[in-house]
Amino acid sequence: MWCRCETRKLVVDRSSEVSPATFRSNIVFSAEDSQSFRPWVPLDKYLVRTSWARIMKNATDSGVALLLLFFKKYPQHKELFPFKDVPHDELSTNKRFRAHASSVVFALASIVDALNDNDLLVQLLIKTGSTHKPRDVTADGFKHLNEVTIELFSSIMKPDEVEAWKKTLGVAFGVILKGLAEAP
């Protein structure tokens, strides 16, 4: 398996099995990306896992905070949800909203849990993208969620943890977008 990022578009080839080290070494970024991309190192996984453990102490409330920020910044995405008519200030107590917020956190947890199993990770991410297409979720929706996640994490994590998350979510959302684009 190899990944290549061409002008912000991630390409994943799952035709061959490779080790995690080869997986990482085959992520190729454009010149524009290489300016801001720091190679993913084992410390990044450690930082993602340890910072995530703090989030999971209050998983549902963390998801609520994330989705409240997401809908505040990008209210157009709220229209895709069954709680679209619930006023923003009432969302945090709405059971359906809280359930979805919890689901989002546990989807992110599955990414963290699969960091050492690239094949599993890629399949989880592609499935996430493909299952959201019938719900009319767009690439912009995922890009906005990525942006808001980093914004929220920046307010509660150390800079090195945020950098590790930027790299992790950058690759993860790239694969999710591939799954979204390839879904029937």
User: Is 36 domain-assigned?
Assistant: no
CA 143, 148, 149, 151 torsion: positive or negative?
Answer: positive
Return the bridge partners of 10, or none: 5
Residue 25 clears pLDDT 60, i.e. is over it: no
The tally of CA atoms less than 13 A away on the side-chain side of residue 7 is 0
User: Is 104 domain-assigned?
Assistant: yes
User: Is 93 domain-assigned?
Assistant: yes
Q: Residue 150: its pLDDT value, please?
A: 97
This prediction's pTM? 0.78
CB 56 within 8 A of CB 180: no
Q: Residue 41: its pLDDT value, please?
A: 82
Residue 5, helix vs strand vs coil = strand
As given in the structure block, the two tokens for residue 71 are 């809908």
Terminal Cα-to-Cα distance of the chain (whole angstroms): 23
The count of other CB atoms within 10 Å of the CB of residue 12 is: 18
Taking only the tens place, the pLDDT of each residue in 121-155 is 999 999 999 999 999 999 999 999 999 999 999 99
User: Is 3 domain-assigned?
Assistant: no
CATH number of the domain residue 53 falls in: 1.10.490.10
Taking only the tens place, the pLDDT of each residue in 32-86 is 333 344 456 889 999 999 999 999 999 999 999 999 999 999 999 999 999 999 9
Q: What's the distance, CA 33 to chain centroid?
A: 18
Residue 11 clears pLDDT 80, i.e. is over it: no
Amino acid identity, position 83:
F
User: Is 5 domain-assigned?
Assistant: no
CB 90 within 8 A of CB 98: no
User: Is 49 domain-assigned?
Assistant: yes
**DSSP tag of 28:** B
The structural domain count of the chain equals 1
User: Is 34 domain-assigned?
Assistant: no
* Distant-in-sequence, close-in-space partners of 83: CB < 8 Å, separation ≥ 6: 91, 94, 96, 97, 100
Residues of the chain with pLDDT > 70, as a percent, come to 78
Query: Looking at residues 101-118, what average pLDDT do you find?
Result: 95
User: Is 7 domain-assigned?
Assistant: no
| Whole-number average pLDDT of the chain | 83
Domain residues for the domain of 88 are 41-182
